[in-house]
């Protein structure tokens, strides 16, 4: 992919002096239009060989554009906090809101390429990383994030000349490090793996633009033109023609659903309940203090019908844990800050560190439940969300998370009984509101959506547990037993 970037591209200083003011005006105009419409956000990935001028391009864009609406992330080694979470956490947490732009110098490409160059990963592992990146960028694009990827290229001969020029000047010698020269010695290996990465991840939604970086003027105008044209094109069509990435699930001709077929008559008497509760809570506390847990974390998801007992089940879990170990995150309608970013952004921000529990009372499954049913998103949005959620959870599992997902289900009659009780008991009235009654009218739609969701997202690394919850005692014990048995099987006694 780099042959066309080794042809000696250049423009004269006279041409640059004429074109620079025009370019600056164009960039500012499209930036302010982006800010005003807030139709999408922009993520600029700046990659390239050492010495190709990534820092100079960042400085130039801050000069040419309104820097108040640009954030720059020059990422190197991950922090301790970042190392305790999945690799993509540090990038998700830095995504800009719609209308704004973020520049990444050091991106999700850096570690996979370097690891492959140094032989720390196999070709198959490298290919898997690139496939994950492609999925990530496709999701960003579908979620109204414009991904612009620019690779600044120098031939090996030009890189040597650039290093020598910088090193010879006392004012710029600091810019050439020992590591730069070490990388120069394996230039061919970097070129080979970088070319593979660019070829595998240059897609219609997020193509790579390779720019020869020998001539500063040519580089500057080329970068400006690419950014301007990409933003202008996206402003004209902020919602790309997304494709539905999951086949339709045909409804059974007898109208039976997974959730509609549950036996909700299961019960547990009070004496057995109290005995089992004490035993399971003790086991949970014990397993949470194992040394092996310090290298893992737990993500718990609770979904289900309103008044199904999610809160009560959660309290029986937290009652057995050290308060410093867990965080319960109740999910309501997204804030303005959250709506301005991809829907998974707010969940990435609440992922636990190692040795901790993250408990979600409602979760990312809102995209395929309430957002689907209330038509807060288009069909292609919630249909492709199944694959996006599976990718998200698989990444968590690969990073060491133990994921358990519980769907608590009750009958319409039991729900009505609990709603009425909440209205009649003064200290429970805060639990019931007009939205709960409105959702009850759509119980059939939620039952169908919930059944389809479980079918599509119950995986070996993040299985769903369906809990028959008409009897609260039975439901709480089933949740606790499932959690304890999973943790005991995953965590050794070491």
pLDDT at 242 over 60: no
**Predicted TM-score (pTM) of this structure:** 0.89
Query: pLDDT grade, residue 1 (50/70/90)?
Result: confident
pLDDT at 246 over 80: no
User: Please, what's the b/e burial string for 4-19 (b: 16 or more CB within 10 A of its CB; e: otherwise)?
Assistant: ebbeeeebeeeebeeb
Q: What is the pLDDT of residues 194-210, one digit of tens each?
A: 999 999 999 998 999 99
Closest CA relative to residue 98, chosen from 340, 308, 327: 340
Interstrand relation of 357-361 and 41-48 (parallel, antiparallel or unpaired): unpaired
Q: State residue 428's pLDDT score.
A: 73
Angle at 486 between CA 463 and CA 401, to 5 degrees: 70
Residue 489 buriedness (CB in 10 A; 0-12 / 13-18 / 19+): exposed
Q: State residue 139's pLDDT score.
A: 94
Q: State residue 249's pLDDT score.
A: 60
Look at 436 and 247; give whichever has higher pLDDT: 436
pLDDT at 8 over 70: yes
pLDDT at 406 over 60: yes
HEC profile of the chain: CCHHHCCCCCCCHHHHHHHHHHHHHHHHHHHHHHHHHCCCEEEEEEEECCCCCHHHHHHHHHHHCCHHHEEEEECCCCCHHHHCCCCCHHHHCCCCCCCCEEEEECCCCHHHHHHHHCCCCCHHHHHHHHHHHHHHHHHHHHCCEEEEEEEEECCHHHHHHHHHHHHHCCCCHHHCCHHHHHHHHCHHHHHHHHHHHHHHHCCCCCCEEEEECCCHHHHHHHHHHHHHHHHHHHHHCCCCCCCCCCCCCCCCCCCCCCHHHCCCCCCCCHHHHHHHHHHHHHHHHHHHCCHHHHHCEEEEEEEECCCCCHHHHHHHHHCCCCCCCEEEEECCCCCHHHHCCCCCHHHHCCCCCCCCEEEEECCHHHHHCHHHHCCCCCHHHHHHHHHHHHHHHHHHHHCCEEEEEEEEECCHHHHHHHHHHHHHCHHHHHHCCHHHHHHHCCHHHHHHHHHHHHHHHCCCCCCEEEEECCCHHHHHHHHHHHHHHHHHHHCCCC
Query: pLDDT grade, residue 141 (50/70/90)?
Result: very high
Q: What is the pLDDT of residues 276-333, one digit of tens each?
A: 999 999 999 999 999 999 999 999 999 999 999 999 999 999 999 999 999 999 999 9
Look at 3 and 194; give whichever has higher pLDDT: 194
Look at 117 and 429; give whichever has higher pLDDT: 117
Q: State residue 247's pLDDT score.
A: 58
Q: What is the pLDDT of residues 21-62, one digit of tens each?
A: 999 999 999 999 999 999 999 999 999 999 999 999 999 999
Phi, psi (5° rounding) for residue 37?
Answer: -80, -30
Alpha-carbon Rg for the chain, nearest whole angstrom, is 27
Q: State residue 245's pLDDT score.
A: 53
Query: pLDDT grade, residue 169 (50/70/90)?
Result: very high
Contact assessment for residue 133 and residue 201, using Cβ atoms and an 8 Å cutoff: yes
pLDDT at 188 over 60: yes
Q: What is the pLDDT of residues 345-383, one digit of tens each?
A: 999 999 999 999 999 999 999 999 999 999 999 888 999
Largest CA distance in the chain: 90
Look at 133 and 378; give whichever has higher pLDDT: 133
Contact assessment for residue 188 and residue 84, using Cβ atoms and an 8 Å cutoff: no
Query: pLDDT grade, residue 252 (50/70/90)?
Result: low
Torsion of CA 59, 61, 67, 69, to 10 degrees: -140
**Domains in the chain, ordered, with CATH?**
3-236 (3.40.50.300), 259-490 (3.40.50.300)
Q: State residue 492's pLDDT score.
A: 80
Mean pLDDT, the chain, whole residue set: 93
Q: How far apart, in Å, are the Cα atoms of 7 and each of 152, 166, 211, 212, 424?
A: 14, 22, 11, 8, 80
Average pLDDT for residues 144-158, to the nearest whole number?
A: 96
């Amino acid at each position: 992919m780099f042959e066309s970037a080794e042809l000696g591209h250049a423009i004269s200083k006279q041409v640059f002096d004429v074109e620079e003011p025009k370019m600056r005006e164009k960039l500012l105009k499209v930036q302010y239009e982006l800010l005003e419409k807030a139709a999408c956000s922009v993520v600029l990935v700046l990659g390239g060989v050492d010495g190709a001028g990534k820092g100079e391009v960042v400085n130039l864009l801050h000069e040419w554009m309104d820097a108040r609406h640009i954030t720059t992330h020059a990422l190197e080694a991950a922090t301790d906090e970042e190392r305790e979470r999945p690799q993509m956490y540090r990038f998700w947490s830095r995504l800009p809101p719609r209308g704004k732009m973020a520049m990444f110098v050091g991106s999700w490409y850096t570690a996979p390429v370097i690891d492959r160059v140094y032989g720390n990963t196999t070709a198959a592992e490298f290919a898997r990383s690139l496939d994950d990146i492609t999925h990530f960028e496709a999701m960003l694009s579908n979620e109204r994030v414009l991904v612009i990827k620019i690779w600044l290229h120098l031939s090996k001969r030009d890189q040597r000349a650039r290093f020598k020029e910088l090193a010879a000047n006392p004012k710029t010698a600091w810019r050439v490090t020992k590591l730069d020269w070490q990388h120069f010695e394996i230039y061919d290996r970097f070129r080979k793996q970088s070319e593979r990465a660019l070829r595998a991840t240059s897609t219609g939604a997020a193509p790579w633009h390779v720019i020869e970086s020998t001539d500063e003027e040519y580089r500057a105008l080329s970068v400006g033109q690419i950014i301007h044209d990409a933003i202008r094109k996206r402003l004209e069509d902020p919602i790309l023609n997304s494709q539905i990435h999951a086949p339709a699930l045909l409804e059974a001709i007898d109208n039976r659903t997974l959730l509609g077929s549950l036996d909700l008559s299961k019960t547990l008497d009070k004496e057995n309940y109290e005995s089992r509760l004490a035993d399971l809570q003790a086991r949970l506390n014990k397993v949470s203090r194992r040394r092996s847990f310090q290298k893992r974390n737990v993500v718990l998801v609770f979904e289900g019908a309103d008044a199904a007992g999610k809160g009560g089940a959660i309290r029986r879990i937290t009652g057995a844990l050290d308060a410093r170990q867990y965080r319960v995150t109740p999910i309501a309608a997204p804030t303005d800050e959250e709506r301005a970013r991809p829907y998974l952004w707010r969940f990435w921000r609440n992922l636990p560190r190692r040795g901790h529990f993250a408990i979600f009372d409602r979760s990312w499954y809102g995209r395929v439940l309430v957002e689907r049913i209330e038509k807060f998103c288009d069909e292609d949005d919630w249909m492709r969300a199944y694959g996006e959620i599976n990718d998200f959870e698989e990444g968590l599992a690969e990073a060491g998370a133990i994921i358990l997902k519980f769907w608590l289900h009750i009958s319409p009659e039991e729900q009505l009984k609990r709603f009425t009780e909440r209205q009649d008991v003064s200290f429970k009235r805060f639990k019931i509101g007009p939205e709960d009654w409105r959702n009850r009218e759509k119980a059939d739609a939620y039952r169908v959506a919930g059944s389809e969701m479980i079918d599509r997202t119950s995986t070996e690394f993040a299985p769903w547990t369906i809990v028959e919850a008409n009897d609260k005692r039975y439901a709480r014990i089933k949740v606790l037993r499932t959690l304890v048995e999973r943790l005991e099987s995953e965590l050794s006694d070491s």
